[in-house]
Structure 1
């Protein structure tokens, strides 16, 4: 290798390293990616051991939309995501979490259904769930069990 080739390789390597670093830095929340947090979670005390519902709000303060794709919990192996349109409830594979917006799960609307509970939680218990998203990291949430007729304040 001659001196001229060596002189060209050093600036080229530095330029490539700087470019790669800038590209990686652009992939985080500073780039407006999804920034998710969960608020207002609750589960009404189940009436039977057959099923339970859970409700909460996923807030996205980032500039990129995401999707809630699944939920896991020790309470049940069968947890499904439901969407309600009009008076019709249907199971869906995911729910959108809009950029700079929120996904609301509540009574009479979108919600989670826990089928075949391993135990029947009582008021005052907390049920740990893990929310899984299309692109964001999972979020663990401790969901307090409330009275069967609990309605959150607006």
Structure 2
């Protein structure tokens, strides 16, 4: 028999009760952290896009290079140096260098205790919005010419970049220090 009392709170028809709301909030709570991270990422990407740099490709420009005239007649390698500007919005990588006068590869200086040594490297990164100025102390091109070089001579190269593709450039043979 019914006494006419309702022991629990009265709930209007069609509205969820407190127990149902409590279960839903308990289920949604673990999703709040990933949802907040996603929203923060979306805001940051929107701001990056609004600056006009998002997704712009690398824009590579290479100035005339220099090749050091070997100091000794017995020296079979020398350095070639280029200034590479990337005015684009994404990094590019210099993947290969070719020339018809000999073998060319990338090298860098590795400092060890008391001295440095040259090491071969597979590629050279050119970050967005920077200029890479090659020198004997930074990543550069090591050249093994098949014939003696002459001061003032111009040598043609092709630099192959991941995004910019092949970029033809010339370099002039100079005495070191000039």
Aligned mates of 1:99, 1:85 — CA distance in 2: 24
Could you tell me which of 129, 135, 138 is aligned with 1:100?
129
Could you tell me which of 111, 121, 130 is aligned with 2:140?
111
**Residues 68 and 79 of structure 2 are in contact (CA less than 8 Å); yes or no, is this contact kept in structure 1?**
yes
TM-align CA RMSD: 2.1
| Aligned position for 2:24 | none
In the TM superposition, what is the alpha-carbon distance from 1:133 to its structure 2 partner? 0.9
Aligned mates of 1:80, 1:126 — CA distance in 2: 19
The number of residues matched between the two structures is 120
Aligned mates of 1:81, 1:93 — CA distance in 2: 7
Could you tell me which of 98, 102, 108 is aligned with 1:72?
98
| Aligned position for 1:50 | 76
Verify: 1:137 aligned to 2:162, yes or no: no
Q: TM-score, normalised by structure 1?
A: 0.70
Uncovered stretches (5+) of structure 2, i.e. residues with no partner: 1-52
Instruction: Give the secondary structure class of the aligned counterpart of 2:63.
Output: strand
Structure 1 126/40 Cα, relative in aligned 2: closer, same or farther at 3 Å?
closer
Q: TM-score, normalised by structure 2?
A: 0.61
Could you tell me which of 88, 92, 108 is aligned with 1:62?
88
**Residues 85 and 109 of structure 1 are in contact (CA less than 8 Å); yes or no, is this contact kept in structure 2?**
no
Structure 1 122/148 Cα, relative in aligned 2: closer, same or farther at 3 Å?
farther
Structure 1 32/149 Cα, relative in aligned 2: closer, same or farther at 3 Å?
same
Aligned mates of 2:176, 2:164 — CA distance in 1: 32
| Aligned position for 1:149 | 177
Aligned mates of 1:91, 1:30 — CA distance in 2: 33
Verify: 1:128 aligned to 2:156, yes or no: yes
| Aligned position for 2:60 | 36
